[in-house]
């Protein structure tokens, strides 16, 4: 039997091929007598399986937003995965700075909310629904919405009656998400 390797993407450490292995995804340069790289991405992170497709996206974009992680206690959470300088995986639910109050924004399974949502003096109700007008925001769109104040390209949006129109998203004066 001829063996074949499944190449998942490029190593963020050395640029070599990352291949699928028994327990995850490894840099080809981490094999052999004198490995020159130690990159390895486990296929189970935070009690969640990382699919081949998700690993491909993570290696390509160096970042991915994923739902369905779980703590030891079984509490579900959403996380943005990226790579630390040493090639290990960094997990965070922080997605940016609140454009309304300057608080920290956290991403959850349905929405992005502000750390000051319960603040006694300076309560902040800033919210971005991850699914808005029938469109599921990508991580890239969320980031450009937060940094540029708008998404970069028009996408299909839907109203209650199923009418489809192409719109970009931005904010109104109250920092609510609107179609542009
Ligand atoms: Zn490598
Ligand atoms: Zn806020």
pLDDT of residue 33 exceeding 80: yes
Please report, for residues 62, 98, 104, 127, 148, the alpha-carbon distance to residue 115 in angstroms, rounded to integers and kept in the order given: 26, 8, 5, 11, 21
Ligand of minimum distance to the alpha carbon of 39: 1
Let me know: does 40 contact 30? Beta carbons within 8 Å: yes
Instruction: Give the pTM.
Output: 0.91
What is the pLDDT of the chain when averaged over all its residues? Answer: 96
CB atoms within 10 A of CB 4: 7
pLDDT score of 3: 83
Note residues around ion ligand 2 (Cβ under 5 angstroms): 98, 100-101, 103, 114, 116, 124, 126
Distance CA 84, CA 115 (A): 24
Cα R_g (the chain), whole angstroms: 20
The alpha carbon of 28 and the centre of ligand 1 are apart by a number of angstroms equal to 7
pLDDT of residue 134 exceeding 80: yes
pLDDT of residue 153 exceeding 90: yes
pLDDT score of 115: 97
């Amino acid at each position: 039997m001829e063996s074949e390797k499944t190449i998942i993407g490029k190593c963020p450490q050395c640029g070599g091929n990352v291949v699928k292995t028994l327990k995850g995804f490894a840099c080809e340069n981490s094999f052999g007598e004198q490995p020159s790289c130690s990159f390895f991405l486990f296929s189970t992170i935070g009690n969640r399986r990382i699919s081949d497709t998700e690993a491909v996206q993570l290696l390509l974009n160096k970042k991915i937003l994923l739902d369905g992680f779980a703590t030891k206690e079984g509490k579900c959470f959403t996380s943005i995965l990226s790579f630390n300088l040493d090639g290990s995986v960094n997990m965070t639910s922080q997605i940016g700075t609140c454009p309304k109050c300057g608080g920290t924004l956290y991403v959850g399974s349905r929405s992005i909310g502000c750390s000051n949502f319960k603040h006694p003096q300076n309560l902040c109700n800033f919210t971005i629904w991850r699914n808005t007008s029938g469109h599921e925001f990508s991580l890239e769109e969320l980031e450009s919405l937060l940094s540029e104040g708008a998404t970069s390209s028009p996408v299909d949006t839907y109203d209650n009656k199923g009418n489809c129109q192409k719109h970009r998203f931005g904010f109104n004066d109250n920092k609510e998400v609107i179609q542009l």
